[in-house]
Amino acid sequence: MEVAAWALVVEGLLVLMALSGSTLKHLPLSTAMLYLPVGLAIGPLWLSLARFDPVADAKLLEHLTEFVVVVSLFSVGLKLSVELDDRRWLLPLRLAVGSMVLTVGLIALAGIALGLPLGAAVLLGAILAPTDPVLASDVQVADPEDRSRLRVALTGEGGLNDGAAFPFVMLGLGLLGLHPLGEWGVRWFLVDVMWAVCGSLAIGGALGTLMGRLVLHLRMRHAQALWDTTTSWHWG
């Protein structure tokens, strides 16, 4: 399908979802569950407007899924306004790390019992263990002012578990011979655990802090980065 046709389909769908937002709030469905039948309709099952070869288009599908995950996690992060030293972070951390690691291990054991190789079993556990922050949107924090302990826990867990599952994905691939683990797994621990997880948290925290301080500085000192209700976005 041509770019113009794709743009028409995507923009029309987004406009439709925006206009029907108030109606959708009363339905026991998430928006992701409504996007799915649209995708099936334009796919080979009906209109055949979109056709993807899982092998030939693997790189494109990889980039598309990465983009969707980044956007969904970014939107989850924007809803959280809990300070980093707030004790409410302890529950999502336990869910995203402790509970998820336990889930990965149990799924891996079940996979081994079903005859899967160790690497494939670990990879299966890493894929199935994280919850989907998009599908769980109805139980997430509604806005930055929402301080519900339960919603903060579910939203924080939904944003953290994908990153926490990453080392197990790479471990599974390494055990299958598709990713270097290093001698005794040293490279995996240093690169895929310490750098990929801890380094990402440090970089994300630093960038978020700098951006927040920049916005406060522009608002307080220069009256910039302010929302103007009479126009749209106002920069001074």
Question: What is the per-residue pLDDT across 66-104, written as a single tens digit (0 to 9) for each?
Answer: 887 787 777 777 777 777 777 888 888 888 888 889 999
Verify that 83 and 171 share a domain, yes or no: yes
Q: Would you say residue 228 lies in a domain?
A: yes
Percent of the chain with pLDDT over 90: 24
| Residues 187 and 123: beta-carbon distance below 8 Å | no
Residue 193, pLDDT above cutoff 50: yes
Verify that 140 and 194 share a domain, yes or no: no
Give the lowest-confidence range in 104-108, 170-174, 204-208, 217-221: 217-221
Enumerate residues 6+ apart whose C-beta is below 8 A from 132.
Answer: 32, 158
Separation CA 32–CA 136 (nearest Å): 10
Model's pTM, two decimal places? 0.71
**What tens digit of pLDDT does each residue of 214-236 get?**
888 877 776 665 554 444 444 44
At which of 153, 179, 205 does a domain end? 179
Verify that 236 and 190 share a domain, yes or no: yes
Verify that 131 and 86 share a domain, yes or no: yes
Q: Would you say residue 80 lies in a domain?
A: yes
Verify that 174 and 202 share a domain, yes or no: no
Is 98 exposed, middle or buried, given 0-12, 13-18 or 19+ CB atoms closer than 10 A? exposed
Q: Would you say residue 211 lies in a domain?
A: yes
Q: Would you say residue 52 lies in a domain?
A: no
In the prediction, which pLDDT does 231 show? 42
Q: Would you say residue 42 lies in a domain?
A: no
Verify that 123 and 103 share a domain, yes or no: yes
In the prediction, which pLDDT does 137 show? 62
Give the lowest-confidence range in 29-38, 87-96, 138-147, 175-184: 138-147
Q: Would you say residue 2 lies in a domain?
A: no
In the prediction, which pLDDT does 14 show? 79
φ/ψ (deg, to 5) at 177:
80, 20
Mean pLDDT of 29-55: 80
If one counts the domains in the chain, the total is 2
Q: Which of 128-137, 142-151, 174-183, 217-226 has the highest mean pLDDT?
A: 174-183
Which residues constitute the domain of residue 194?
Answer: 185-236
In the prediction, which pLDDT does 133 show? 57
